[in-house]
Amino acid sequence: MEIKVGNAVLEAVEGDITGENTDAIVNAANSGLRGGGGVDGAIHRAGGPEIMAECRKIGGCPTGSAVITTGGNLKARFVIHAVGPVYRDGKQGEDKLLRNAHVKSMQIAAERGLKSVSFPAISTGAYGYPIREAAKIALRAVKKFLESDSGIERVRFVLFGKPAFEAFSEELKKIEDKRARG
């Protein structure tokens, strides 16, 4: 499923983000940038120790923000480590933090002149964010950013497993339907 946003393409695909050949892939990191399970572990395993060495130098990243490192051995040249919120009850500002993690990642990519970025479904694994709500927040934040003519030409959401892929595809379709209705 993909839609056009200005001159850019915004898409949802099912797959493993570590194989992406976009300029950058986004990691669902923790605020200590220490690595861990889930997509974070997979990215460090595939990318090699150079990524963790840079993470250690940076030291940490607040929730709702992001930092950039080399892509190490990955096809992607860079990894943008975004820190999403732990979901508690949805009343602790989780939505704003998740939005900000996406916006900051896009800002970093635009500042570096990157043309393509792949995101995982940040916060929807160990951090427990309900997938549909996360899809809505993530896609709307990125769409809005792409409307600002950032120079980024393609953003891919690479979803692990069918439920996540379907949630993001349905949300993309809603965005498209809303636009068609004017």
Pick the binder of ligand ADP from 26, 28, 66, 141 (CB under 6 A).
28
Site size toward ligand ADP, by CB under 6 A: 21
Q: Is the dihedral angle over the CA atoms 114, 153, 13, 32 positive or is it negative?
A: positive
18 binds ligand ADP (CB under 6 A): yes
- Would you tell me the crossing angle of helices 94-111 and 131-147 to the nearest 10 degrees? 40
Of the ranges 4-12, 57-65, 140-148, 157-165, which one interacts with ligand ADP (CB under 6 A)? 157-165
> What are the strands, taking DSSP E only, across the chain?
2-5, 8-14, 24-29, 66-70, 78-83, 116-119, 154-159
Q: Pick between residue 56 and residue 162 the one whose CB is nearest to ligand ADP.
A: 162
Which of 84, 110, 137, 169 is the binder for ligand ADP (CB under 6 A)? 84
CA distance 180 to 41: 40
DSSP 140-175: HHHHHHHHT--S--EEEEEESSHHHHHHHHHHHHHH
Say whether residue 121 binds ligand ADP (CB under 6 A): yes
The rounded distance, in Å, linking the Cα atoms of 65 and 62 is 6
Question: What is the rounded distance in angstroms from the CA atom of residue 166 to the CA atom of residue 149?
Answer: 28
Site residues (CB under 6 A) for ligand ADP, limited to 40-59:
40, 42
| Contact mark string toward ligand ADP, 123..152, x via CB under 6 A | xxxxx-------------------------
Q: Is 177 a catalytic residue?
A: no
Residue from 26, 33, 39, 108 binding ligand ADP (CB under 6 A): 39
Catalytic residue among 40, 89, 149, 177: 40
User: Is 160 a binder of ligand ADP (CB under 6 A)?
Assistant: yes
Give the binding range for ligand ADP (CB under 6 A) out of 4-12, 65-73, 153-161, 171-179. 153-161
- Smallest CA-to-CA distance from 1 within 14, 12, 15 is with 12
> What residues make contact with ligand ADP under the rule CB under 6 A?
16-18, 28, 38-40, 42, 84, 120-127, 158, 160-161, 164
Residues designated as active site:
40
